[in-house]
Amino acid sequence: MTLQSTAEAGSVGGADKYFDKVVKYVPADVVAAWTAAVAVIKGTVGIPTMWVLLICLIVGLGATYRWTLRQTAEENQPPATKQAIIASVAFLVWVLALGDLNDALAGIKLGDTAFWNAAYGKLILIGFTLVSGRL
């Protein structure tokens, strides 16, 4: 991963193009860690599954932010804060799209109606993927 450049697009080391940004913002390593953690958590009996998943989500968000800053660090350059924030949001979007928190979110009610539907995570992922390359 590298910092976003202000150089002209197409030049060596130039600004990332749309697809480069979309790929760069998805923290695949942290999403893979989340997927592995979910498999372990859901395969374990006798633990408060939803609470452990929520703790893993919080840890994953923090890890994504710090990991992205560390991967993009360049000497004499400001930290890639924007990229780290977008990567953290991307992690959250992927978690929602994977549906591992659907049960917890569906338990939140707005009146008599459930706050969350599994389709929302997938729709958010589609929208985020289209928009993130423009950021």
pLDDT digits (tens, 9 = 90+) for 93-115: 999 999 999 988 888 888 888 88
Inside any domain, residue 83: yes
Task: Output helix, strand, coil percentages for the chain, rounded to the nearest 5.
Answer: 65, 5, 35
Query: pLDDT tens digits, residue range 49-60?
Result: 989 999 999 999
Range of the domain at 46: 18-132
Cα separation, 36 vs 57, in Å, equals: 13
Per-residue pLDDT of the chain (135 residues; tens, 9 = 90+): 555 544 444 445 556 676 566 666 677 888 899 999 999 999 999 999 989 999 999 999 999 999 999 988 888 999 989 989 999 999 999 999 999 999 888 888 888 888 899 999 999 999 998 888 777
How much is the pLDDT for 2? 53
| Contact call for residues 45 and 52 (beta carbons, < 8 A) | no
How much is the pLDDT for 13? 55
Q: Hey, CA dihedral for 12, 13, 18, 20, is it positive or negative?
A: positive
Inside any domain, residue 78: yes
Number of independent structural domains in the chain: 1
Inside any domain, residue 118: yes
pTM of the model as a whole? 0.78
Inside any domain, residue 13: no
